[in-house]
Amino acid sequence: MEKLVAQNIQDGKPYEITIKDNEIQSIVITESEEIPEFYFGPGFFDIQVNGYAGHDYNLVQDYFLNLGQISKKLSKKGITRHLPTVITNSKKQLGKLFHQLTLLLESNHIYQKCIPAFHLEGPFISPEDGPRGAHFKEFVCAPNWDWFQYWQDIAGGRIKLITLSPEWEGSNSFIEKCVESGVKVSIGHTSANQQQIEGAVKAGASLSTHLGNGAHGILPRHPNYIWSQLAEEKLCASIIADGFHLPKEVIKVLQKVKGDQLFLVSDSVALAGMKPGDYETPVGGKVSLTKEGKLHLKDKPGMLAGSAMNLLQGFNFLLKNNLASIQEAWKMASQRPEKYIFTETEPWYADKKKEFIILKKSKDSQFDHYKTFISGKETFPNTIQSINYEQ
Ligand SMILES: [Zn+2]
Question: How far away, in angstroms, is 221 Cα from ligand 1 center?
Answer: 23
Question: How far away, in angstroms, is 134 Cα from ligand 1 center?
Answer: 8
CB of 56 within 8 A of CB of 93?
no
Predicted pLDDT of residue 391 = 35
> In terms of Cα–Cα distance, which of 330, 373, 366 is closest to 351?
373
pLDDT by 10-residue block (mean), the chain, 391 residues: 93 93 91 87 96 96 95 96 97 98 95 94 97 94 98 97 98 98 97 98 98 95 98 98 96 97 97 95 84 91 89 97 97 96 69 78 91 87 45 35
Question: How far away, in angstroms, is 30 Cα from ligand 1 center?
Answer: 45
> In terms of Cα–Cα distance, which of 125, 234, 237 is closest to 226?
237
Is residue 28 classed as helix, strand or coil in its secondary structure?
A: strand
Predicted pLDDT of residue 349 = 57
Consecutive H or E run containing 287 = strand 285-289
Is residue 205 classed as helix, strand or coil in its secondary structure?
A: coil
Is residue 227 classed as helix, strand or coil in its secondary structure?
A: helix
For the domain bounded by 44-272+307-346, which CATH number is listed? Answer: 3.20.20.140
Q: What's the CA gap between 210 and 292, in Å, rounded?
A: 21
Residue ranges per structural domain of the chain: 44-272+307-346
Question: How far away, in angstroms, is 209 Cα from ligand 1 center?
Answer: 7
Q: What single-letter DSSP state applies at residue 347?
A: P
Q: What is the chain's alpha carbon radius of gyration, rounded to the nearest angstrom?
A: 20
Predicted pLDDT of residue 303 = 83
Question: How far away, in angstroms, is 320 Cα from ligand 1 center?
Answer: 25
Residue 245: C-alpha distances to residues 45, 68, 153, 293, 321 (Å): 20, 27, 34, 11, 15
Predicted pLDDT of residue 177 = 98
Burial class (CB in 10 A: 0-12, 13-18, 19+), 129: exposed
User: Torsion angle of alpha carbons 9, 11, 12, 14, nearest 10°?
Assistant: -100
Predicted pLDDT of residue 346 = 65
Question: How far away, in angstroms, is 210 Cα from ligand 1 center?
Answer: 7
CA 292, distance to chain mean position in Å, is 20
Return the bridge partners of 281, or none. 285
Q: What single-letter DSSP state applies at residue 307?
A: B
